[in-house]
Amino acid sequence: MEDIKVTSAIDFKTYLIISLRASYNRSLVILTIIAFAFLQYSTFSDSAFTWKDEVFLISIYGGILGIVLPLTIYFKCKHNMKTVPYLSETLLYIVNDEKIEVKGDSISNSTNWQYVTKLIEREKYFLLRRAARNFNYLPKDGFQSKEDMNRLKAIAKEKGIKFSYK
């Protein structure tokens, strides 16, 4: 069977959106809600409840999750785009039943399918996730044909990799 070839170049906006989505996953939200509930319990268990204190704690929680974390991710992405060479160059992915190869001016890498944990399909791209924040970006317009996209999904299904369309 012929290899699937995908040309990939990620821009800052897409990289930032993917990083934000990876950071605001379901488990993080659940853990922060549990931590917030514990914080509330420990704060109000020995004292009288006041709405002023409640609003203060919600403001701190909202400020951290809604302002500080996104700003931190934004500046980290900006820093990565400047310092990590392969993020700003065009990469060639060669995908087959055995492995996923990445070739670029500053990178040459190969990954076996056993290390891929999830295939995520979005409207304009696929993500091959290898860890919580480690992914391969495969834009749909970088595929040579629609059949290659279907073959990628078939390979992932054959290998038992979780698939999601978001």
Query: What span, in angstroms and rounded, lies between the C-alpha atoms of 34 and 54?
Result: 16
pLDDT band for position 103 (cuts 50, 70, 90):
very high
CB neighbourhood size of 151 (10 A): 19
Angle at 41 between CA 40 and CA 42, to 5 degrees: 95
pLDDT band at 160 (very low <50, low <70, confident <90, very high): very high
Number of Cβ within 10 Å of residue 29's Cβ equals 11
Instruction: Output the pLDDT for position 144.
Output: 95
60 versus 112: which is more confidently predicted? 112
Q: Cβ atoms within 10 A of the Cβ of 23, count?
A: 15
143 burial (CB, 10 Å; 0-12 / 13-18 / 19+) is buried
- List the CATH code of the domain at 4-9+88-165: 2.30.29.30
Q: Indicate whether 43 pLDDT > 80.
A: no
Side-chain half-sphere exposure of 107, counting CA atoms within 13 A: 17
